Amino acid sequence: MRILGMIMAGGKGERLYPLTKDRSKPSVPFGGKYRIVDFVLSNFVNSGIFSSYVLVQYLSQSLIEYLRTTWRSEGIISDHFLTCVPPQMRLGEIWYRGTADSVRQNINLVKDFAPDLVAIFGADHIYRMDVRQMIDFHLKNKADVTVAANTVPLAEASAFGVLGTDETGRIIQFDEKPAQPKCIPGNPKAAYASMGNYIFNTDVLLQVLQKRFCDVPALDFGKHILPKILTDHRTFAYNFQSQTLPGAKPYEEQGYWRDVGTIESFWQTNMDLLGPKPKLDLNNPQWPISTTLNRVPPTKYMGGTVTNSIIGDGCIIHPKAKIKNCVISDSVIIGEGAELEGCVIMDNCEIKPGAKLKKVIMDRFNTIASKQTIGHNMEADSQKYYIDPSGIVVIPRGKSKF
């Protein structure tokens, strides 16, 4: 069966500013060594989907360069590829105007590849998913369209697009952020929230985009298409939490999925990687998250104490330094007596001796001066840095030394 991946990676990520000041959301570093986009790409490859287009748009150069150098896509056959596609403006001098419009503007790629199914997924969430299990569900139910659904508490469902289903899983209702969300049949305390990931039969996708909704300029799958095709097409909800992920640990959160769209959620999702029983354990050889092969030496510990933290390669930890509950990326120098707590530090930064940082997200290529204090005095920090409403201090990307 021929399956084509269409990965939507064009979002601005405005709520992640200033981390998205110079890059799109999928290109933001995460977890000490990854980029956000690595998760959807790894899910596809691990699921045996090797033919994918990545649809990019805003501030896309960082993402394009990252994919070019990290995700080399030359397969042993021509059908194995990973190709970035900026807006081609085939329908006029217009940018992508919604998730469905981005696919519609590149419908020629779908026709040329002639797949049986098209997997249309977003690129800005942290999760692990065996897409083949979703495809098996799609085929078993003879579905035209299948929507990945995450189970959320009914009290929290109003923040999502909610899928109302019958007992078989067929979607009979779709409501965007409803005041009174529909519960899952047999589970009155939970609802199905759309994850924005779709499996389409190719003929249905072509009919929907080129005929039925051809005159709708700004076109979105969740907002415009999904609510209006339920009666005409067999549309099912796939329960993401029903999957059995190879290599998953029993202590991990079942169906872990996070939209890291805000500074607070980005920080918390990094923190979820820590501890002896993390909610998301990325040490899983059966379901690896692929990323850059960074040619730097091993980390050197000169002294100090490291507690419940992730430390990347090529770092130097000097004596008397104290690191607690932190995610540290590659090539970070932490000076003598420096203290870090609850911080996310991206690569190629230097924290000089005696500096103290607490609950700080620091982007790449920054240097913190000796004895400087950040995260301990919000009033003083607000004069120099961006402070999120959650109290997290964010230091934007510095200037590369290379």
For the annotated binding site for alpha-D-glucose 1-phosphate, the residues are 96, 161, 176-177, 194
Tokens of 208: 């929907």
**Residue by residue, what is the 3-state secondary structure of 4-48?**
EEEEEECCCCHHHCCCCCCCCHHHCEECCCEECHHHHHHHHHHCC
Burial class (CB in 10 A: 0-12, 13-18, 19+), 112: exposed
Residue partners of 288: CB distance under 8 A and separation at least 6:
42, 46
- For residue 137, how far is the Cα from the chain centroid? 23
Closest of 19, 38, 17 to residue 363, by C-alpha? 19
What is the distance between the alpha carbons of residues 281 and 330, in angstroms, rounded to a whole number? 19
Q: Identify the helix (H) or strand (E) that includes residue 67.
A: helix 61-70
Closest of 346, 335, 348 to residue 296, by C-alpha? 348
Cis before 185 (ω within 30)? no
Q: Is 134 helix (H, G, I), strand (E, B) or coil?
A: helix
What is the distance between the alpha carbons of residues 362 and 344, in angstroms, rounded to a whole number? 6
Handedness of CA 71, 76, 82, 83 (dihedral sign): positive
| Binding-site sequence positions | 96, 161, 176-177, 194
Could you give the C-alpha distances from 291 to 31, 37, 69, 341, in angstroms and in order? 11, 9, 10, 26
